Amino acid sequence: MKTAFIFVLYKTPQSEINRLKTEVRKLQVTNYKLYLIDNTYNGQGYAAGVNRGIKKAIKDGCKLFAIANPDISLTKLVKLDLLTILDQFDIFGFAMHQQGKIYYGGQIDKWRGSGGLIDKKPRGRFAKTDFVSGSLMFIKKKVIDKIGFFDESYFMYYEEVDYCYRAKKVGFKIGIDSKNYYEHFEISKENSQKEFLLFKNRLKFLFRFGNFKQKAHEFFRAPKTIFEEIKKRPFYLNFFSLNISSVVNKILHFVLFLVLINYFRPEEYAIYTLAWTQVGLLSPLLDFGTTSYGLVHINDSVEKKIKELFSLRFYLSSITFILTIILAVLFKYSLSILLPIIFISFVIFANMFSGTYLILSSIKQKSYIASLVSMIFQVLLVISLITGVLITKQLLTVFIIIFILYNTYSLINFFLIRREVGNLSLKIDLKKWLIIIKKSIIFLLISLLAGFYSKVDVLILNFIKGTEAVGIYSAGYRFLDALMFVVVAYNVSSMSLFSRLIKEKKRNLFIRKIKKDVILVFTIGMFIALGFYFFGPILLPLVYKNTYLKSIQVLRIIIFALPLILLTSVFLNSIYALGKAKAVIYIFLFQLIFNIVLNLIFIPRFSFFASAYITLLGEVINSLLTFIILGSVLIRTDLIRRLP
């Protein structure tokens, strides 16, 4: 019987093609012909490639067709006894060794109508199965004569499940030889579209062949299915969980704000605001750029490096805590303000612990856990604060509850970090710290410059037009500021992934991720911006008083900065991952000068509207500059890589 070995190729190196030719020859099949179907440039799927190969083989008189992926090894199948297996099955395969496990064909789930591989070894050598893995399957010609070719609408994945199901339905026997096995390297596991194609084609198979019970089961199971699909994609799970956590946090604290202003006089609420403001003055020192450093530079020896980072962050937070108290004393606050500042200053340590755990979980692509912990804490915090206010009606109660709960939050994050990395120490290692600081100082400078750049318009506006103009502008800007959680969530979710792709030299996946992220974040940003632009004049008067109605006009201008900021974040994360963060300093330095000059020129005539348009223009320039820098870096690195 003449056998056709059909390999469907996609960007397969010549060395691998030569290996496959050698391995097929060593099988010692007496009468065979090899077909190499290259799909690299024709845009066709795996099923289409298989069909092309089968049609060629039929013309050449082949009666048995071996369909195979190029990412397999046949060395364990030497001296293959095809005749014995041909007596057993019409479509057959062998045990498959993949990622440390051996699989023995596949079966269709009776509840979900989905195909899954079997890892339990059958008792006998020859075992019937519902389908055979498409990485290597043998098909007799009589099967093709009866049911035809592969369904090309699947493009990739599930085409073998569909084919075997159709064959079994008309009486053909399908199974595997469990005595012999082959290796499957599964290069496709790095295919960014794999999970999507599997999900789509599984549903296609279900709706085509599933019974009513299976379809109904899948319908009612939809929420769990959606969660499972999101979980398979760490970026989306982390991104959306961080966004949900941030949204919940914003809502909770807005409710708390309403309660506080309802129960306390303005001068009392001012103490609450002033205490938080004072603690926030030195917050950049607490982080010192170590969060960005951790997300970008920690990819291997994670436990060891997190321990080093933890000790540095602890001492930085201790210094920040002490300086905050000293600064409050130097400002000569009264005891009624100084005491709340001391209570709230312990939040510095909570931020240090939770920030360290967020870095750790983000590196491991599990930042959804940190966001869940944060969300639970915020719910308990706000409920406790509201309850305390309703019972005691004392402002001091608020600060005592903050002190107790934030210290508890510190302990929780401390134990979470220990669970992941083991015992922590506060060892002073100046040599290691200097290495971290040397790399993180860039991120600190970027943070400071970005902060100055984002606040300089308010300072100039106040100097030229006074507090009323600042109030109107800030009230409009506050909505954009509130939406920055989307940017933060994206940065935390994506930065470590960008760095890992560069570390592993997966340039194509790196560029593909940039393109996908650009589409994703710009779409999200524009959707939000357009929503505020069109519905703002209708809904926002319910929030703003008459004296703030002009803030709505400011917001409708400045809100379009959001999609641009998100775009810039994609480019910045890519630049950081490529180790070119220094270039970003010059961007923000230019923007700082740009903002100062334009605001000084146009604010006297156009007041806060000038600041709004200048902010928007600044973000356009930011996006363009970061895009240009990223493009030049990618071109330069590509040229270097190609040098002999």
Cα 325 from Cα 380, distance rounded (Å) = 27
Q: Amino acid identity, residue 369?
A: I
| Residue with the larger pLDDT of the pair 133 and 491 | 133
Q: What are phi and psi of 580, to 5 degrees?
A: -120, 35
Q: Which residue has the tokens 């269709």?
A: 108
Domain segments of the chain: what residues? 3-187, 234-428, 442-644
Full DSSP string of 149-167: S--GGG-SSSHHHHHHHHH
pLDDT in tens, 45-68: 899 999 999 999 999 999 999 999
Bridge-partner residues for 32, per DSSP? 3
- Between CA 386 and CA 509 the distance in angstroms is 48
| CA 86 from centroid of its chain's CA atoms | 48
Mean pLDDT of 488-493: 74
Contact 428, 300 (CB under 8 A): no
Distances (CA, A) of 391 to 7, 187, 262, 397, 400: 75, 62, 14, 10, 14
pTM as predicted: 0.52
Classify burial at 20, counting beta carbons within 10 Å of its beta carbon; exposed 0-12, middle 13-18, buried 19 or more. buried
pLDDT at site 451: 57
Q: What is the mean pLDDT of the chain?
A: 82
Q: How confident is the model at residue 100 (pLDDT cuts 50, 70, 90)?
A: confident
Residue 395 in tokens: 């402002």
- Give the model's pLDDT for residue 559: 92
Helices 347-363 and 484-503, packing angle to 10 deg: 40
- Residue 197 corresponds to which tokens in the numbers above? 């194609």
Class at the top of the CATH hierarchy for domain 3-187: alpha beta
Per-residue pLDDT tens over the stretch 271-289: 777 777 677 777 767 766 6
Closest CA to 104 of 120, 81, 123, 125: 120
Distance CA 463, CA 620 (A): 26
